[in-house]
Amino acid sequence: MRVGLVCPYSFDVPGGVQSHVHDLAETLIGMGHEVSVLAPADDDAPLPSFVVPAGRAVPVRYNGSVARLSFGPISAARVRRWLENGEFDVLHVHEPITPSLALLAVLSARGPVVATFHTAMARSRALAAAQNVLQLVLERITGRIAVSELARQVQVEHLGSDAVEIPNGVSVARFAAATPLPGWPGEGGAIGFLGRFTEPRKGFAVLAEAFAVLAGQRPGLRLLVAGPGDPAAVLDPVPKPIRERIVFLGKVSEEDKARMLRSVDVYVAPNTGGESFGMILTEAMAAGTPVVASDLEAFRRVLDGGTAGSMFPTGDAGALAAALGELLDSPQRRAALAARANQVVAGYDWPIVAARVLEVYATAIEATEGIVRDAPEPT
């Protein structure tokens, strides 16, 4: 099968949707399919061989974050050329209701279109204002996927449609086989965080406050942080003697992300909101690292109601410190959480997830062929 995947966000910047598209493409290629990915990126950016750059993206505020999108006449021309050259059996776009390549691709498509919705958002004035345009886009989509029940609710409540729930996948074997970074986790214990730590909704400030409490009680405890951003922007509230025990790796490769997750005793997801799934949770689970996460609905679903990870009241640094202290003091509890997480994360392994996506492709292709067969003969 020839599959065209469209990522709305720049491949130059790490993110959940980008990782999803990348890993889905690799999995489908490994299953024998031909895959091409179109994504915003500079023409000279180092990209996987299956990615076609659609030009530089511009930063746009979206869903409490900053997304790097590509949109406009030049982008539209590149989309049309890519579609013409690809001759895809199915077009699979991600986040098609953002002003992005995905939206442009849907409007230019002439065959089966599958769309994956990642975002869970509250009722939006922007969605309401753009309802006519969005309706035109939605009418061209043959099959719909939502990565979570929260993302599916956006379809039902705001867009007047429904979607098959298929979660984000994770390469379980790759994370499980990763080796820790040299010198980690160390005898004093280590906590991990990965993400855009300067972005308020990622909750790093909550973790920093909790770590300051714990570090004062545990002289050898360290915090390992990976992700883009300026450390100076978040360290002011942290007492100076403790700052040197927070190690920033900066932006990391996929290989080093797996190694980082294997390098800590506990992974923390202190996010304060705006999450529809929690891909980093499944990655930590696959790495065999116990998870402590904010009690967000999306995280609770991934962690099987709290059986596959410890949860704390969102935004409560004191409760986070207590939960971390309990786990750091109990190797048995950490082992039990990791064992349960290993069972749960097996259902998120990419080959299993990709097989379900292929079922949606087949249904979309069949539906499109049925429309063509049933079309009236020209007079």
Residues with Cβ within 8 Å of residue 149, at least 6 apart in sequence: 165, 301
Residues with Cβ within 8 Å of residue 359, at least 6 apart in sequence: none
**pLDDT tops 60 at residue 33:** yes
Mean pLDDT over 289-307 rounds to 96
Q: Residue with structure tokens 């599916």?
A: 152
Domains 2-169+349-374 and 172-347 share a fold: yes
**pLDDT tops 80 at residue 160:** no
Selection from 60, 56, 62, 63 nearest residue 11 by Cα:
56
Question: Quick check: 203 and 319 in contact, CB under 8 A?
Answer: no
Better-predicted residue by pLDDT, 379 or 367: 367
- Tokens linked to 12: 């130059």
Better-predicted residue by pLDDT, 216 or 375: 216
- Tokens linked to 376: 């009236």
Mean pLDDT over 354-372 rounds to 90
Q: Residue with structure tokens 């309706």?
A: 135
Least confident stretch, 122-136, 184-198, 307-321: 122-136
Better-predicted residue by pLDDT, 155 or 143: 143
Residue 377: the pLDDT is 53
| pLDDT grade for 376, boundaries at 50, 70 and 90 | low
Over residues 2-12, the pLDDT tens digits come to 999 999 988 87
Over residues 314-345, the pLDDT tens digits come to 999 999 999 999 999 999 999 999 999 999 99
Mean pLDDT over 34-38 rounds to 98
CATH assignment of 172-347?
Answer: 3.40.50.2000
Tell me what percent of the residues of the chain surpass a pLDDT of 90. 71
Q: Does domain 2-169+349-374 have CATH number 3.40.50.2000?
A: yes
Within 10 Å of residue 213's Cβ, how many Cβ atoms?
Answer: 17
For the chain, domain boundaries:
2-169+349-374, 172-347
Residue 100: the pLDDT is 86
Mean pLDDT over 227-254 rounds to 93
36/122 Cα distance (integer angstroms)? 33
9/98 Cα distance (integer angstroms)? 10
- Which of the listed ranges 95-104, 262-271, 369-378 does the model predict with the highest average pLDDT? 262-271
Tell me the H-state helices in 227-349: 240-243, 254-261, 279-286, 297-302, 317-328, 331-345
| pLDDT grade for 16, boundaries at 50, 70 and 90 | confident
Residue 151: the pLDDT is 81
Residue 75: the pLDDT is 87
Supply angle C-alpha 341, 346, 348, rounded to 5: 100
Please compute, for residue 308, the number of CA atoms within 13 A of its CA located in the half-sphere on the CB side: 22
Residue 177: the pLDDT is 97
**pLDDT tops 90 at residue 66:** no
Residue 162: the pLDDT is 80
- Residue 293's SS3 state is strand
**pLDDT tops 80 at residue 125:** no
**pLDDT tops 80 at residue 215:** yes
Better-predicted residue by pLDDT, 54 or 31: 31
Residue 132: the pLDDT is 65
